[in-house]
Chains A and B, each alone.
Chain A
Amino acid sequence: DIVLTQSPATLSLSPGDRATLSCRASQRVRSYLAWYQQKPGQAPRLLIYDASNRATGIPARFSGSGSGTDFTLTISSLEPEDFAVYYCQQCSIWPYTFGPGTTVDIK
């Protein structure tokens, strides 16, 4: 199975800061990578698909980049509602797998 590693595990930032989250795959997944946001007690929400495409309704402050094995999710200026857990997920090879998550919390 493809293993996804996310770093850092926790990112402590303030509103208005730029957040940079990383995801590394154990083998190439081309651009078949998605990012999700999850808040406590809620279902995950799709943010980015195919590495760099924003899902419907996702604000422009969220952007994704990368291909192959290294990917980045960037939040250009954190809003209060952005403090959450972020997961990357590959859909290149079954079983599709998720990373362990990065928690973005308030500094």
Chain B
Amino acid sequence: EVQLLESGGGLVQPGGSLRLSCAASGFTFSSNWMSWVRQAPGKGLEWVANIKQDGSDKNYVDSVKGRFTISRDNAKNSLYLQMNSLRAEDTAMYYCARGGSRPDYWGQGTLVTVSS
């Protein structure tokens, strides 16, 4: 059974940092693109970033470029999102998802709240 378990969310002040993690199981992690997608409270979905199987290709939405970094550790079956210089508008549920273009499995999300 495919499972994606996010962690690392929480309350952080504007300008602060957080590192999200996603533990994957039930499939060959190293064979799949992976993505982070977020959803602000009561709002729609926004793709944040995706990463190729070997980490050699990464894409970011403009609003997070230069502040967020997506990475992966295939030996640990884990996906990460390092988030720096956080802003109020980054407040959202962050989902880890399998696939780089039309994810077929999603985790339950981890909530990030940016507030003073």
Contacts and interface: CB of A to CB of B under 8 A. Distances in A.
Given A43-B95, A43-B108, A43-B109, A98 B45 contact: yes
B101 A96 contact: yes
Interface of B: 37, 44-47, 59, 61-62, 95, 101-104, 106-109
Nearest to B103: A46
Given A44-B37, A46-B104, A96-B47, 16 more contacts: A32-B101, A34-B102, A43-B106, A43-B107, A43-B108, A44-B95, A46-B102, A49-B104, A87-B44, A89-B102, A95-B47, A95-B62, A97-B47, A99-B44, A100-B44, A101-B44
Interface of A: 32, 34, 36, 42-46, 49-50, 55-56, 87, 89, 91, 94-101
Contacts of A95: 47, 59, 61-62
A68 to B, nearest CB: 18
The secondary-structure label for the interface of chain A is: loop
A103 B47 CA distance: 20
Contacts of B61: 95
Contacts of B106: 43-45
Nearest to A36: B45
Contacts of A55: 104
Contacts of B104: 46, 49, 55-56
27 contacts: A42-B108, A43-B95, A43-B106, A43-B107, A43-B108, A43-B109, A44-B37, A44-B45, A45-B106, A46-B103, A49-B102, A56-B104, A87-B44, A87-B45, A89-B45, A91-B101, A91-B102, A94-B59, A95-B61, A95-B62, A96-B47, A96-B101, A98-B44, A98-B46, A98-B47, A99-B44, A101-B44
Contacts of B103: 46
B96 to A, nearest CB: 9
A56 B59 CA distance: 26
A44 B107 CA distance: 9
